[in-house]
């Protein structure tokens, strides 16, 4: 899995996970805007699946929406290994990391941060225009069951006019978290499948406010 490092030499790790058909450079340009003070050392991993020979993805889904579950879980495992490697290389504590994913990257983020059994959970995670993916063999820990492995702070952003990951999928993620009593912040924006200026500014403020 290729990884691009971006600006900031901070004391904590920030991981930005791109969507389907994009690449490791896709979200790197956000870093100066969402972390202007360089509080984080940021890495942008590339999905392991080739898409049209140019971009990358994390998993495939059929026309009927069926997800290749083995591919999905393999990508989550690879992502976790990349995060662990970055923490070891830089001397970071994974429990202080922040993971942000867009679209398919949002599904990866939710799975990496909330599945059980899991690696050490990050301090916080954000799912942008993404979705909570559920299938047999993928179980989530929806309760803060131990003080040593608390659930992360969770932020969800979604576009009201998103034609790719429709707003109903954002609502489904919100409703599942709410049903299980998981604290989170959910925000909608008058945007399509994108990160608007308003969403980016709110993301910057959220990141700056993390302990």
Q: What range defines the domain where residue 84 resides? A: 3-208
Q: With CA atoms as reference, report the closest residue to 125 among 163, 96, 147.
A: 96
Average pLDDT on 27-54 reads 91
Model's pTM, two decimal places?
A: 0.93
Q: For the chain, what is the mean pLDDT? A: 91
Q: Residue holding tokens 């202080």?
A: 96
Classify the C-alpha dihedral 116-120-125-128 as positive or negative. Answer: negative
Residue 172, classified by CB atoms within 10 Å of its CB into exposed (0-12), middle (13-18) or buried (19+), is middle
191 with 162: CB under 8 angstroms? Answer: yes
Give the pLDDT confidence of 60-97 residue by residue, as tens digits. Answer: 888 777 889 999 999 999 999 999 999 998 999 999 99
Residues with Cβ < 8 Å from 16, sequence gap 6 or more?
6, 27, 28, 30, 31, 42, 43, 44, 100, 101, 102, 105
197 with 157: CB under 8 angstroms? Answer: no
- Per-residue pLDDT band for 52 (boundaries 50, 70, 90) equals confident
* CATH number of 17's domain: 3.40.50.1820
- Secondary structure letter of residue 120 according to DSSP: P
Count: domains in the chain: 1
* pLDDT of amino acid 42: 93
Average pLDDT on 123-152 reads 85
* pLDDT of amino acid 153: 95
Q: For the chain, what percent of residues have pLDDT higher than 70?
A: 93
């Amino acid at each position: 899995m290729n990884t691009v490092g971006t600006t900031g030499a901070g004391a904590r790790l920030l991981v930005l996970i791109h969507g389907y058909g994009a690449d490791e450079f896709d979200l790197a340009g956000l870093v100066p805007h969402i972390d202007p003070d360089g509080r984080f050392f940021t890495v942008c991993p590339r999905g392991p699946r080739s898409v049209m020979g140019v971009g990358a993805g994390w998993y495939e889904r059929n026309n009927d929406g069926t997800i290749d579950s083995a591919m999905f879980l393999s990508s989550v495992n690879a992502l976790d290994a990349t995060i662990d490697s970055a923490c070891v290389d830089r001397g970071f504590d994974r429990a202080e990391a922040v993971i942000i994913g867009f679209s398919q990257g949002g599904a990866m983020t939710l799975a990496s941060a909330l599945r059980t059994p899991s690696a050490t959970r990050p301090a916080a995670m954000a799912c942008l225009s993404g979705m909570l993916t559920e299938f047999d063999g993928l179980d989530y820990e929806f309760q803060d069951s131990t003080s040593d492995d608390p659930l992360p702070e969770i932020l969800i952003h979604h576009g009201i006019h998103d034609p790719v990951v429709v707003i109903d999928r954002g609502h489904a993620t919100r409703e599942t978290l709410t049903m299980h009593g998981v604290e989170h912040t959910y925000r909608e924006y008058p945007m399509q499948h994108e990160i608007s200026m308003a969403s980016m500014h709110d993301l910057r403020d959220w990141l700056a406010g993390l302990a």
